[in-house]
């Protein structure tokens, strides 16, 4: 009898601990993450004469899943915060001249809360999108064609009888199985759907560009989003680089997220990352071929996440960038 009681007690203990662990995980997923994110740029002193220097950096905006509480900008140049018209991305434009005779420093401190995206898993209806916006996200981008081999690859995976969700799931599953997260060699990191379709490897830009091209080719609006990852294990850290993902539009759930490259790197998240996103990321801009009016004319950016620096209208790459987050 004592042996039975002992065994029962041990099993009960494991059950209680398991429930506690699941509860903690559920709470972690459901809680909002409140961050201070710091985006810094330094342009070392330029000794040769020039007339106008310009730095462009993206500024995140509030949406259904993140709230920007405050943005503080410090710089020894002059600045203004603007918004481009096509995707409504916000950005800061910093102007300076050689009269400063010093390094040019820019620090953007962002107070922001990120929520989990869970409309799909919780079966909640999403926000209805405007027709003109959906039309834009059915069109090709410079590196995201919606015909040729991309369309052929997509049509081989779906049938007209399938729903939007079923088609998107087919694309997601196929890219999960056939692509590798691999940043070796050349060609990766540009979000080139043809490269991804042919080589079947790359980083997050390549995974999601191919997904977007396939979705658009069968009449599903899809869009590219880019920002920065944070860490669920750390309260503060330097961030090594950007992360991006995609969304497709469904008439019931609204914009539905997918993060295929993250799923490939973390297979235990595969099911969750179709239709849902964690709250350990911040979104900074949407779209491709982003057109911004600078002091030297209109510039088009493949995607917009890192600083864009120009000296007298010409791209200038001698700058230092740093990104950090701290949980509040």
CB atoms within 10 A of CB 101: 9
Residues of the chain short of pLDDT 50, as ranges, are: 1-29
- Would you list the DSSP string of 33-69? EEEEEEEEEEE----S--S-EEEEEEE---BTTEEEE
Classify domain 131-278 by CATH number. Answer: 3.10.620.30
33-114+289-327 and 131-278, same CATH topology: no
Using the structure block, give the residue that is written with the tokens 């049938």: 159
The set of residues, in sequence order, having a beta carbon less than 8 Å from that of 31 and lying 6+ positions away, is: 279
Specify the pLDDT at position 16. Answer: 36
Closest to 326 (Cα-Cα) out of 235, 239, 242, 238: 235
Rg (CA), the chain: 23
Q: Which CATH class is domain 33-114+289-327?
A: mainly beta
- pLDDT confidence of residue 297: 92
Q: Which own/partner pairs from 61-64 qualify as long-range (CB within 8 Å, at least 24 positions apart)?
A: 61/88, 61/89, 61/90, 63/283, 64/115, 64/117, 64/127
Give the pLDDT confidence score for residue 12 in this predicted structure: 42
Domain locations in the chain as residue ranges: 33-114+289-327, 131-278
Q: Are the CB atoms for 190 and 208 separated by under 8 Å?
A: no
Q: Percent helix, strand, coil in the chain (nearest 5)? A: 30, 35, 35
pLDDT value of residue 30: 52
Q: What is the pLDDT of residues 92-120, one digit of tens each?
A: 999 999 999 999 999 999 999 999 998 78
Question: In the prediction, which pLDDT does 26 show?
Answer: 40
What pLDDT, on a 0 to 100 scale, did the predictor assign at position 296? Answer: 87
Contact 39, 61 (CB under 8 A): no
């Amino acid at each position: 009898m004592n042996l039975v009681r002992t065994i029962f007690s041990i099993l009960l203990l494991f059950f209680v601990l398991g429930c506690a662990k699941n509860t903690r995980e559920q709470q972690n997923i459901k809680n909002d993450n409140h961050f201070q994110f710091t985006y810094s740029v330094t342009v070392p002193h330029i000794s040769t004469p020039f007339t106008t220097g310009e730095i462009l950096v993206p500024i995140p905006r509030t949406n259904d899943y993140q709230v920007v509480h405050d943005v503080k900008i410090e710089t020894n140049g002059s600045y203004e915060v603007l918004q481009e018209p096509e995707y409504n991305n916000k950005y800061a434009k910093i102007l300076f001249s050689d009269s400063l005779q010093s390094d040019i420093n820019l620090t953007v401190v962002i107070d922001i809360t990120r929520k989990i995206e869970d409309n799909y898993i919780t079966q909640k209806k999403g926000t209805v999108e405007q027709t003109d916006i959906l039309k834009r996200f059915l069109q090709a981008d410079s590196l995201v064609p919606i015909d040729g081999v991309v369309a052929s690859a997509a049509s081989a995976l779906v049938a007209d009888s399938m729903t939007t969700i079923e088609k998107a799931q087919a694309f997601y599953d196929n890219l999960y199985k056939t692509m590798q997260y691999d940043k070796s060699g050349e060609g990766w990191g540009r979000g080139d759907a043809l490269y991804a379709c042919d080589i079947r490897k790359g980083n997050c830009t390549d995974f999601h560009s191919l997904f977007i091209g396939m979705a658009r080719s069968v009449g599903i609006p899809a869009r590219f989003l880019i920002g920065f990852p944070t860490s669920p294990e750390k309260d503060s850290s330097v961030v090594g680089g950007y992360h991006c993902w995609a969304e497709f539009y469904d008439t019931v759930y609204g914009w539905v997220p997918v993060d295929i490259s993250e799923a490939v790197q973390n297979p235990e998240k595969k099911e969750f990352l179709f239709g849902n996103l964690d709250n350990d990321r911040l979104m900074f801009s949407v779209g491709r071929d982003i057109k911004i009016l600078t002091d030297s004319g209109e510039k088009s950016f493949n995607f917009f996440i890192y600083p864009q620096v120009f000296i007298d209208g010409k791209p200038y790459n001698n700058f230092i960038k740093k990104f950090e987050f701290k949980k509040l």
